Amino acid sequence: MQNPTIVIGVIGADCHAVGNKVLDRVFTMHNFNVINLGVMVSQDEYIDAAIETGAQAIVISSIYGHGEVDCIGMRENCVERGIGEILLYVGGNLVIGKHDFSEIETKFKAMGFNRVFAPDTDLELVCSLMKRDIDHVIQTEETAEGMQ
């Protein structure tokens, strides 16, 4: 099976570049085919790249605290552009100030994100969760095709 393709980048007007490089390195080392859009990425740029490359997931970072505003409508945008089922992940310092992470997670999941990660999440764990999710999607698609 081919390595899974994921589109990564830092959303909105956010210019924090270091975490993005760390994620690129770790994901690449774990055999993901990483399409890295860098910083200050718009929702449409992630979606364009996902469509062009047939990516299985979009992995959004937000570091400067405005993640909620930047991510509003991302799932709906994916649906409108024909990739409504794509896996959506988000992580980083998603909001300003100190909040219970479970509140943040609930908020982003309600916005259609499949998984929401705190800034200190173990990236090895993130890689294994993403692989599991992607395998599950591929298996479900294969089963659906087999039934047709």
Is 136 catalytic? The answer is no
89 contacts ligand B12 (rule: CB under 6 A): yes
Considering the complex, what minimum distance in angstroms separates the CB of residue 82 from ligand B12? 23
Nearer to ligand B12, 14 or 74 (CB): 14
Calpha distance 28→80 (Å, rounded): 30
Considering the complex, what minimum distance in angstroms separates the CB of residue 64 from ligand B12? 4
Residue identified by tokens 């062009």 is 52
Interface residue with ligand B12 among 73, 82, 84, 119 (CB under 6 A) is 119
For residue 2, what are the contacts with CB-CB under 8 A and spacing of at least 6?
A: 33
SS3 91: strand
Interface residue with ligand B12 among 36, 56, 93, 114 (CB under 6 A) is 93
The residue among 43, 58, 77 whose CA lies nearest residue 7 is 58
The residue among 123, 38, 67, 106 whose CA lies nearest residue 115 is 106
Question: Looking at the annotation, which residues are catalytic?
Answer: 14, 16
Q: Where does this chain bind ligand B12 (CB under 6 A)?
A: 13-19, 22-23, 59, 61, 63-65, 89-93, 96, 117, 119, 121, 126
